[in-house]
Structure 1
């Protein structure tokens, strides 16, 4: 899980950032991205692609990541998603996460020493070297950490929405297109956090 981090360091990069997102597919709620710069690489909790971890494992890892890394988070809500589409909203969330990471770190760093390890094939508007890694959340510790932070952050947001809109059971399905979710939409219609640009919702 450290191959790409070690490779980047051997090439002279000293500020290595992993970036990933959560929430591209749901019908409701925001897309959330996280940028993580590890300060330590030994963890007590299991760090891997967030989809491979149980909710409890993710929560424990989430806490430890914040103890052993610098973290930035970017959130784009359903209004932005509907305005610019989910792909562009995801890019904006990732760019915001990186910007927030550097703002919170308050470090002056040579841009030539920065590399972003990015899960997937997306291209971002960043003034740094970007290394795209397919399935990076299972190959890079930095990206895996970012995937956990993004997932837990988004889940917590959806738990809040579950209390605001209890009829939709957002706490259970997190906005994904489950049978329970579609049944609620058919019965009550859409609510303010639904992504109305998504084709399954255009009929409501």
Structure 2
């Protein structure tokens, strides 16, 4: 009698997965599975598949013990959870001999390869964040990683908005805001994000006037620096004070640049230091903490993706307000971008106080003090 052919790795994996699907998996069984198998279970349940093994095990175990929660649930991680995740990442780094020698105290343009942007997943991975937690840049400190992004560099009208955020909770739907095409979906994720446990965030609104003074690149970098400083110095009393307009993004404040903050009060963490991950290829000067830039980071890193949603929704809300102040331009529709309809309105009605006069074609036009074309 001939021997039975050895089952392939894929066949054995499928058999194990089927067995666990039918029997109801316990935490100990999750830990005996490999990462590929864990991600298969996560996808089947509509949960996020990013993260190291200990995070995947926790996510699955939480799902089993909270079976009334669906794929849009929020998972909170404690400081001990993050410590465990960091240890898991350190072990994985040692196994794969990943070189983290670039994790110095100076901003670095050379970072280890990041996970690519992935379609059909529920949130971005924390690739760089976990690398930093696994190899602290300063020994005997607690590192808080801040994601930073902006919205509104290209429009002819309105502010550029930069956001910075520390987001301990993993929230389904945190991806690059530009890939979330429905405004109501961005709004839903934004509301879940700002109410998530342990979040600390700041949003800097840089006016069109300031953009014209220093140019859009410098205004954007200025906003990023202001937002990071805002996260590092959150004043809880300002956040909760009723009727305090100084901590509200408003179209009425169109001549000034300002920062609003939100989230949980600043935690009393011993030896806490900050490190910012900034979307793009430039780092603002005089940053209040160590940082690095990540090209296309808003589609690759969780904290930057979260910041992109904060920035985008804040700016869109402002543009809806501006639309009521300046209805001739239909700002709610195009959000100030140079569409044909917007360009036609500028040619017909001139410029509003929130139009960027240094942007073409406005910079080639002459206006009187009321914005009328001369």
Shorter-chain TM-score tier: over 0.9
Q: Which of 36, 39, 49 is matched with 2:165 structurally? A: 36
Q: Which residue of 1 aligns with 2:132?
A: 8
Scaled by the length of structure 1, the TM-score of the pair is 0.94
Which stretch of the first structure deviates more once superposed, 134-143 or 103-112? 103-112
C-alpha deviation, 1:110, in angstroms: 7.8
> Cα 1:111–1:26, aligned 2, differ >3 Å: closer, same or farther?
farther
What's the secondary structure of 1:192's corresponding residue?
Answer: coil
C-alpha separation between the residues in 2 aligned to 1:109 and 1:126? 21
Root mean square deviation of aligned Cα: 1.6
Structure 1, unpaired ranges of 5+: none
User: Taking structure 2 as the reference length, what is the TM-score of the superposition?
Assistant: 0.52
Verify: 1:127 aligned to 2:127, yes or no.
no
Return the alpha-carbon distance in structure 1 between the equivalents of residues 218 and 270 of structure 2: 28
Is 1:96–2:204 an aligned residue pair? no
2:210: which partner in 1?
Answer: 80
The alpha carbon displacement at 1:59 in A equals 0.6
Q: Which residue in 1 is equivalent to 2:306?
A: 145
CA deviation string 1:78-129 (max 9, x = no partner): 0100000001100111111112112225457788831101101122121322
What is the CA distance between 1:67 and its match in structure 2?
1.5
What do the CA deviations read for 1:37-85 (whole angstroms, capped 9, x no partner)?
Answer: 01212x1x41100000021221111111112221111111001000000
Q: Which residue is equivalent to 1:46?
A: 173
Structure 2 residue runs of 5 or longer lacking an equivalent are 1-124, 137-141, 235-264, 366-374
SS of equivalent residue, structure 1 residue 16: strand
- The 5 A counterparts of 1:143-182 are 143-182=304-343
CA–CA separation in structure 2 for the residues paired with 1:111 and 1:155: 37
SS at match of 1:190: coil
Q: Kindly indicate whether the alpha-carbon contact (under 8 Å) linking 2:143 and 2:272 is maintained by their aligned counterparts in 1.
A: no
2:266 matches 1:136: no
1:117 match = 277
Cα distance in 2 for residues equivalent to 1:70 and 1:64: 13
Partner Cα distance (1:109, 1:197) in 2: 45
Higher normalized helix content (fraction of residues): 1
Q: Tell me: higher relative CO, structure 1 or 2? Use CA pairs within 8 A at least 6 residues apart.
A: 1
Using the alignment, how far apart are the partners of 1:152 and 1:77 within structure 2?
A: 16
